């Protein structure tokens, strides 16, 4: 599925191909009644049959320039159709082997519906298989392929929200992984794509409750608590008494926490946005104004420390992060940020202690392991640093910091 669409050609349904497909369906023990007439194509895999008037898109095998119809596989037909369903072209270009050679005609919705039915007839379990494949690819860091599979499922099942839901989750996870490895600019691009994916789900004509819950979590991670609160409130209403009780209770608790801490205050969101955009001084003014109103909210102290750290004010940043920890932010991100400030201010022993605590909470964090490598370098221990950076490469083979260090060490 990763090759270019230009490798798709269109063929007519020959008697030989029709016989082979008939044999396949017969072997599967499924009915094969034609239903394609004035009332249009019925998307029913159990009652699908071939319409010889519609050409079939086929994907050429790697290295092939011409189609060998004798060795044509079902996988080539499936791949070709899935490509067209996922990204419909503006016209069909028939191959020399096809009908009306060299001529073009516009692709219409009936063609897409026919191809969709064809795929579902050949592969009735494709939704389950492709969903499992997308999750597996994402878990192994093959995000582009995972997203491509989700797009294919969205084309095959246009009424289902799950392919788009999974796509949003994958984009969000990819962004977090990039962020964790210190590739912040790339992470921001993926966060923007994830945002667009979540917003698209939230604006769907048929509301999907689970999308509102997970979008709420996404907005919380991005420090947009006002938007998170809206999503959680919508989830509570949409899920009703028949929804997931635990998730509804969690959403209600988060709404309460956001409200009591005033995290949905405009000042907080503005402070976060300013800092994220590199306007730390403006962010400092906003977050300090917020702290004058709510001095016991750890999230605000974290933002203060984040701004100070980005400005190179290490001791002030460390003090802000310590306050955040004191107020309940005993998480790996806060401890890692605190360690950076301590390391840069020369307190290497304390920095090591905080990084070790952070790693215990998040043992596969690329960012934390990489910082332990940097700390080892500051302590003059090249061998220990190399060990940490090798571990980073095991988790993220393309990590630029680890690669750069290990290359210069050779």
Mean pLDDT of 341-348: 95
Q: Does residue 102 belong to any structural domain of this protein?
A: yes
Total domains in the chain come to 4
294 neighbors 300 (Cβ within 8 angstroms): yes
Same domain, 335 and 308: yes
Helices 126-139 and 143-156: crossing angle in degrees, nearest 10, is: 160
Closest CA to 172 of 360, 278, 307, 180: 180
* Final residue in a domain of this structure, among 103, 122, 141: 122
Same domain, 34 and 139: no
Domain's final residue, options 338, 360, 382: 360
Average pLDDT over residues 32-40: 36
Q: How confident is the model at residue 194 (pLDDT cuts 50, 70, 90)?
A: very high
Both 29 and 131 in one domain: the answer is no
Residue 368 scores a pLDDT above 50: yes
Predicted local confidence at residue 309, as pLDDT: 95
Both 85 and 18 in one domain: the answer is: yes
**For the chain, what is the mean pLDDT?**
83
CATH number, domain containing residue 130: 1.25.40
Please say if the pLDDT value at position 2 is more than 60: no
In-domain check, residue 100: yes
Question: Does residue 115 share a domain with residue 9?
Answer: yes
* Residues facing residue 91 across a β-bridge: 106
Query: Residue 28: its pLDDT value, please?
Result: 58
Q: Judge whether residue 202 has pLDDT over 90.
A: yes
- 232 in any annotated domain: no
pLDDT of residue 282 exceeding 80, the answer is yes
pLDDT digits (tens, 9 = 90+) for 331-340: 999 999 999 9
Would 75 be classed as within a structural domain? yes
With 50 as the cut, is the pLDDT of residue 34 above it?
no
Burial 57-95 (b: 16+ CB within 10 A, else e): bbbbbeeeeebeeeebeeebbbbbbbbbbbebeeebbbb
Residue 352 pLDDT level (bands cut at 50, 70, 90) = very high
The reported pLDDT for the residue numbered 115 is 87
User: Is residue 271 one of the residues assigned to a domain?
Assistant: no
Residues 10 and 114 in one domain: yes
Alpha-carbon distance values, 227 to 201, 232, 359 (Å): 14, 9, 31
Domain with 189, as residue range(s), is: 126-206
pLDDT of 375 over the 90 cut: yes
Q: What three-state secondary structure class fits 104?
A: strand
Q: What is the pLDDT of residue 343?
A: 95
pLDDT number for residue 189: 94
Encoded tokens for 324: 């955040």
Query: In the prediction, which pLDDT does 308 show?
Result: 96
336 found inside a domain: yes
- Say if residue 94 is in the same domain as residue 40: yes
**33 pLDDT tier (thresholds 50, 70, 90):** very low
Provide the pLDDT for residue 95: 47
Give percent of the chain above pLDDT 90. 47
pLDDT of residue 67: 66
pTM of the model: 0.78
Q: Is the pLDDT of residue 307 over 70?
A: yes
Of the given ranges (116-125, 208-217, 316-325), which has the lowest mean pLDDT? 116-125
Last residue of one domain, picked from the residues 318, 339, 360:
360
Does residue 41 sit in the same domain as residue 76? Answer: yes
Are 17 and 106 within one domain?
yes
249 assigned to some structural domain: no
Other Cβ atoms closer than 10 A to 5: 13
Asked whether residue 230 is assigned to any structural domain, the reply reads no
Same domain, 400 and 295: no
Q: What pLDDT band is residue 237 in, cutting at 50, 70 and 90?
A: confident
Q: pLDDT: is 181 or 163 the higher one?
A: 163
Same domain? For 355 and 368 the reply is no
**Quick one: pLDDT at residue 106?**
67
What is the rounded CA–CA span in Å between residue 340 and residue 98? Answer: 65
pLDDT digits (tens, 9 = 90+) for 80-115: 889 888 887 766 555 444 444 555 666 677 788 888
Mean pLDDT over 210-214 rounds to 95
What average pLDDT score do residues 241-258 get? 87
Question: Which pLDDT band, with edges at 50, 70 and 90, does 301 fall under?
Answer: very high
Using a pLDDT cut of 70, give the percent of the chain over it.
Answer: 83
Q: Are residues 198 and 292 in the same domain?
A: no
Most confident segment among 15-24, 77-86, 224-233: 224-233
Q: Which two tokens stand for residue 41?
A: 């194509």
């Amino acid at each position: 599925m990763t090759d270019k669409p230009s490798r798709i050609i269109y063929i007519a349904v020959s008697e030989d191909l029709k016989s082979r497909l008939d044999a396949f369906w017969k072997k599967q023990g499924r009915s094969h009644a034609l239903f394609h007439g004035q009332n249009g194509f019925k998307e029913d895999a159990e009652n699908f049959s071939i319409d010889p008037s519609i050409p079939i898109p086929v994907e050429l095998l790697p290295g092939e320039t011409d189609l060998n119809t004798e060795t044509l596989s079902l996988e080539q037909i499936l791949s070709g159709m899935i490509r067209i369903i996922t990204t419909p072209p503006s016209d069909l270009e028939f191959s020399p082997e096809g009908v009306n050679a060299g001529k073009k005609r516009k692709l219409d919705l009936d063609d897409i519906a026919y191809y969709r039915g064809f795929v579902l007839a050949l592969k009735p379990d494709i939704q389950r298989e492709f969903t499992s494949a997308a999750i597996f690819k994402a878990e192994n860091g093959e995000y582009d392929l995972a997203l491509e599979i989700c797009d294919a499922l969205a084309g095959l099942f246009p009424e289902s929200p799950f392919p788009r839901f999974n796509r949003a989750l994958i984009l969000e996870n990819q962004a977090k992984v990039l962020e964790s490895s210190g590739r912040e600019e790339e992470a921001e691009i993926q966060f923007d794509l994830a945002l667009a994916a979540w917003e698209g789900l939230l604006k769907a004509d048929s509301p999907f409750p689970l999308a509102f819950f997970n979008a709420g979590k996404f907005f919380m991670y991005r420090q947009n608590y006002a938007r998170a609160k809206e999503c959680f409130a919508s989830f509570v209403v949409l899920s009703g008494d028949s929804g997931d009780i635990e998730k509804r209770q969690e959403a209600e608790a988060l709404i309460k926490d956001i409200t009591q801490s005033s995290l949905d205050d405009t000042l907080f969101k503005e402070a976060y946005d300013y800092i994220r955009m590199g306007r730390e001084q403006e962010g400092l003014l906003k977050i300090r104004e917020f702290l004058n109103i709510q001095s016991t909210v750890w999230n605000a102290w974290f933002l203060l420390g984040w701004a100070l750290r980005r400005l190179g004010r290490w001791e002030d940043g460390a003090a802000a992060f310590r306050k955040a920890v004191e107020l309940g932010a005993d998480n790996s991100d806060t401890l890692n940020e605190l360690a950076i400030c301590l390391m840069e201010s020369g307190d290497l022993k304390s920095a090591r202690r905080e990084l070790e605590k952070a790693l215990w909470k998040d043992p596969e964090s690329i960012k934390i392991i990489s910082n332990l490598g940097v700390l080892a370098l500051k302590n003059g221990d090249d061998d220990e640093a190399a060990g940490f950076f090798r571990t980073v490469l095991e988790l993220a083979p393309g990590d630029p910091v680890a690669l750069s260090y290990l290359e210069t060490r050779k």
